[in-house]
Structure 1
Amino acid sequence: MESTKKNLYTADATAVGGRSGHVRSATGIVDLDMSVPEGLGGKKGATNPEELFAAGYASCFQQALLVIAQRAGDKLDPGTEVKCGVTLFQEGEGYGLSAVLDIDLKAFDRDKTIDMVRQAHKICPYSVGTRGNMEVELKVQGEAIPVAPEENAGVAEKGGVAA
């Protein structure tokens, strides 16, 4: 059986110096000093991998919501917000990440918002990429919504979103 995988885009970046170094994308648009988070003894004025991951996930998830809305013939309110918190934790000798996505679609009722969030979670590349590898909690306007195990397992449905 032939694969239907079609590469759409590749982003390239280089890191030098680890968490206290520098990152630069091949395009030069990302060109940032890195630091351990300030609360863990790092310096002010620098970002960290968790902050970059949170920004990417929030943006990508919002794009997935736009696709879901468009498929349903809806439009998202321009004030729609996706907040993403990424937590770095230590467990034994290793380290890990977890994420919380908090979505406020503004214009839809809670049930419709929950449905759209679940659909977006199925197609968002970040959700697909982290599925089964890290805990991702979904919230709607600050309130956790239940996520069934099958919603956090497996591979993307057809029609994934490029972000």
Structure 2
Amino acid sequence: MEKINKSYTATATNQGGRIGHVKTDDGMLDLELAMPKEIGGTGGKTNPEQLFAAAFASCFGGALAFVSKRINTDDAQITVQVHSGEAESGGYGLAADIFVKIPQAGSLEEAQKLANLAHKNCMYSNAVKGNIAVNVKAVE
């Protein structure tokens, strides 16, 4: 495991698991959770997969801005789909598809190069590397 020099620590506390409540220590995030209807829950509230997708998309967008110094990526859109289900090896697992739209890239090929570079630099991409399948695709 690679050691990091900590510059920021986020703290969140959950009570009740997937059908409970999660709150950050600063109160900026304060949410009731529910399991999605698709997996037998009631739905109607956010769930861990949505929170992970939102965090991954935001982090990936930051990495894209970092690696795309020569073009403006303010209008870029990062869509992350987080999939959960039974893992082949047993238990449950995740997979992610990342769709990257970069209007200022000039071509889909250039957008894919930038998306791949962002994937190499994104903290979340590095955190899940080798643990979950991640597909990165530039889109128009």
TM-score (norm 2): 0.91
**Alignment RMSD (CA, Å):** 1.7
1:28 aligns to what? Answer: 27
1:81 lines up with 2:77 in the alignment: yes
Any gaps of 5 or more consecutive residues in structure 2? none
Between stretches 5-14 and 87-96, larger displacement belongs to 87-96
The structural deviation recorded for 1:53 is: 0.2
Decide which of 93, 104, 107 is 1:96's aligned counterpart: 93
Q: CA deviation at 1:4?
A: 8.0
Aligned counterparts of 2:132 and 2:90: Cα–Cα separation in 1: 17
In the alignment, the residues of structure 2 paired with residue 117 and residue 104 of structure 1 have an alpha-carbon distance, to the nearest angstrom, of 9
CA distance in 2, matches of 1:38, 1:47: 11
Q: Which sections of structure 1, spanning at least 5 residues, go unmatched?
A: 143-163
What does the per-residue CA deviation read over 1:7-65, in whole Å, with 9 as the maximum and x for residues that have no partner?
A: 11110000000111000000101100011112223234311110000000000001000
2:8 aligned counterpart, secondary structure: coil
Count of equivalent residues: 137
Answering whether residue 45 of structure 2 is matched by residue 49 of structure 1, we say no
Q: CA, structure 1 residues 100+93, in 2 after alignment: closer, same or farther (shift >3 Å)? A: same
User: What percent identity do the matched residue pairs reach?
Assistant: 35
Partner secondary structure for residue 7 of structure 2: coil
Distance, in Å, in 2 between the alignment partners of 1:22 and 1:111 is 43
Alignment match, 1:138: 136
Q: Could you list the per-position Cα deviations for residues 88-111 of structure 1 after superposition, in whole angstroms to 9, with x for gaps in the alignment?
A: 111264000000000000121112
Measure the CA separation in 2 of the matches of 1:37 and 1:133.
23
Residue 114 of structure 1 deviates from its aligned partner by 1.1
